[in-house]
């Protein structure tokens, strides 16, 4: 029955930049539901999950990321976030690299990638200092539009293609939304 269909967490609300003055121009990110974002990531041929040091502020996210990693999506652990993976004994497809050098390489279509198999067609950001992630999305937005920019962070990321709305102050909903993404990836 239609009434029993689980709608899931609404991640499309609060579509205002987490840093309010980050209004870049005519092209701004759209917010999507977790299932849609999950489906888009799953459809990508060469996705890369990029995570940062804010994960230490909410350690349960490491476990969720490892779940994503286990679906086959490689993980770029930026800043010193790789420590979280070392502590959990998961390094199977985890690469230690700074977000800045990573983005610098992502600009070039001929980059060999972290595994030597070529550049990526989708990057998914999560757990990265907002201003920094926003700027790196901006680089890709302007200088390599072949890569889809996806955020599953708790912020509305204005320079992404696809993002959640701001969920920084509703951590339970945010966790549930990420779980829905994971569920979609596993389907």
Partner 1 sequence: MVTTKGSFAVEDMKNVQINIGAVVKEEEEWDQPMGPYPKPNVATLRDWDFKLANRYKIFYAPADDTCTLCTYGPCDLTGNKKGACGLDMAGYCGKIVLIACLMGCCAHAAHGRHLYHWCLDRFGDMKFDMGDEILVDSPLYQTIMGTKPKTLKEFGDGLSYVEEQVVQLMAATHTGQEGYYGDFESKALHAGMLDLLGMEICDMLQIVAYDMPRGAADAPLIEIGMGTLDQNKGVLIAYGHNLAAGAEAMIYAEANNLWDKVDIGGVCCTAHDLNRIGLAAGNPSIPKNIGMKPKVAGAMGWWRKMVRSGVMDCVMVDEQCVFCDVLEDTQKRKIPLIATTDKIMLGLPDRTNDPVDQIVDDLVNFKMPGVAVLDPKKAGEVGIRTAIAVKPKRSEAKAQNLITDTQFKEYLEKCTGCNQCVFVCPPHTNIGDLIQEAVKGNLEPFSALYETCVGCARCEEVCPQGIPIMDLYEYANRDYIKGQKFKMRSGRGPARDTEIRAVGAPIVLGTIPGVIALVGCSNYPKGTKEAYDMAKEFADRGYIVVTSGCMAMDMSLYTNEEGKTIWEQFGGAFDGRNVCNVGSCVANANIADAAIKVATIFAHRNHRANFDDIADYILSKVGACGVAWGPYSQKAASIATGCNRLGIPVVVSPHSVMYRRSFMGRMDKPEDWMVIDARDGKMQQIEPAPEAMLYIAETKEEAMLEMAKLCLRPSDNSMGRSIKLNHYCDISIKYCGKLPDDWHIFVRDAKDLPITYKDKMMKELEEKHGWKIDWKNKKITEGPLRPADVSFDPTNIPRKIRAKK
Footprint of partner 1 on this chain (CB under 8 A)? 16, 18-21, 23-27, 52-53, 78-80, 82-83, 86-87, 91, 95-101, 103-105, 107-108, 111-112, 128-132, 134-136, 138-139, 141-143, 145, 168-169
Q: How far is the CB of 34 from partner 1 (least distance, A)?
A: 22
Give the residue with the Cβ less far from partner 1, 134 or 151: 134
In the bound state with partner 1, the residue whose beta carbon lies nearer, of 43 and 80, is: 80
Identify which of residues 72 and 108 has a Cβ nearer to partner 1 in the complex: 108
Contacts of 67 (CB under 8 A, 6+ apart): 182
The helix-helix angle for 130-143 and 99-106 (nearest 10°) equals 10
Cβ closest to partner 1, residue 153 vs residue 180: 153
Give the Cβ contact number of residue 13 at 10 Å.
15
Q: How far is the CB of 168 from partner 1 (least distance, A)?
A: 7
Smaller CB distance to partner 1: residue 72 or 171? Answer: 171
Minimum distance from residue 50 beta carbon to partner 1 (Å): 11
Q: Is 159 helix (H, G, I), strand (E, B) or coil?
A: coil
Report CA-CA distances (Å) from 87 to 63, 78, 83, 90, 107.
Answer: 11, 15, 6, 8, 31
Which of 116, 53, 115, 123 lies closest to 82 in space, CA to CA? 53
Shortest Å distance, C-beta 31 to partner 1: 16
CB of 137 to partner 1, least distance (A): 9
| Token duo for residue 54 | 């804010």
- Residue 39 DSSP SS3: helix
């Amino acid at each position: 029955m239609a009434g029993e269909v689980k709608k899931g967490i609404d991640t499309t609300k609060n579509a205002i930049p987490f840093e309010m003055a980050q209004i870049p121009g005519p092209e701004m990110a759209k917010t999507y539901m977790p299932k849609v974002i999950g489906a888009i990531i799953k459809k990508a041929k060469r996705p890369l999950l990029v995570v940062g040091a804010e994960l230490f502020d909410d350690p349960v996210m490491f476990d969720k990321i490892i779940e994503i990693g286990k679906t086959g999506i490689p993980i770029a652990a930026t800043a010193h976030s790789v420590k979280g993976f070392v502590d959990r004994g998961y390094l199977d497809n985890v690469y230690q690299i700074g977000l800045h050098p990573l983005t610098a390489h992502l600009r070039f279509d001929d980059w060999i990638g972290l595994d030597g198999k070529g550049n990526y067609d989708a990057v998914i950001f999560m757990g990265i200092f907002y201003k920094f992630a926003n700027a790196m999305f901006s680089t890709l937005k302007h200088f390599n539009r072949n890569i889809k920019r996806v955020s599953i962070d708790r912020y509305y990321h204005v320079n992404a293609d696809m993002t959640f709305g701001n969920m920084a102050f509703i951590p339970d909903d945010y966790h549930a939304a990420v779980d829905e993404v994971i569920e979609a990836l596993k389907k």
